[in-house]
Amino acid sequence: MNLRLRAILISSAGLSLRPHTRSALSSLQTITALLLSRAHSLSFSEFARMVCALQTLCKVALFEVTINGSRSYNLKNVRFARALHIKELYVQYCAFGDRHPFWNLLTAPSLSKSLESI
């Protein structure tokens, strides 16, 4: 039987990933869904790099996700963000308002063409 990993659930954990771990994630070509529940990232950069490392993502669901600090940046001209082509983004119980760094994830260059629902 040929089983293929389709989804990753990260719950009650930190999202600090070393470069070799992000590289390993990028090799998982069958992952189409990422669910982060009660997860915490030390920075917007760490958060964005982790999400963008999974290049075949179609769905991202965020439940009670926090990101330290308010420093973030636009991903329009960021090389690692070019591969992000998600179609569905779910956000629930993430208390970060309209100025939170998370929203800059939506500036990834290909999302304007791929994103179908938030």
Which tens digit of pLDDT belongs to each residue from 43-77? 888 888 889 988 899 999 998 888 876 677 889 99
pLDDT band at 1 (very low <50, low <70, confident <90, very high): very low
- The confidence score (pLDDT) of residue 64 equals 87
Q: Within a domain: residue 2?
A: no
**Structural domain range at position 78:** 7-114
Give the pTM.
Answer: 0.83
Residues 6+ apart with CB under 8 A from 41: 14, 15, 16, 47, 50, 65, 66, 67, 68
Q: Within a domain: residue 54?
A: yes
Domain count, the chain: 1
Q: Within a domain: residue 39?
A: yes
Residues 6+ apart with CB under 8 A from 2: none
Q: Within a domain: residue 36?
A: yes
Which tens digit of pLDDT belongs to each residue from 86-112? 999 998 877 555 556 677 888 899 888
- The confidence score (pLDDT) of residue 100 equals 65
Q: Within a domain: residue 1?
A: no
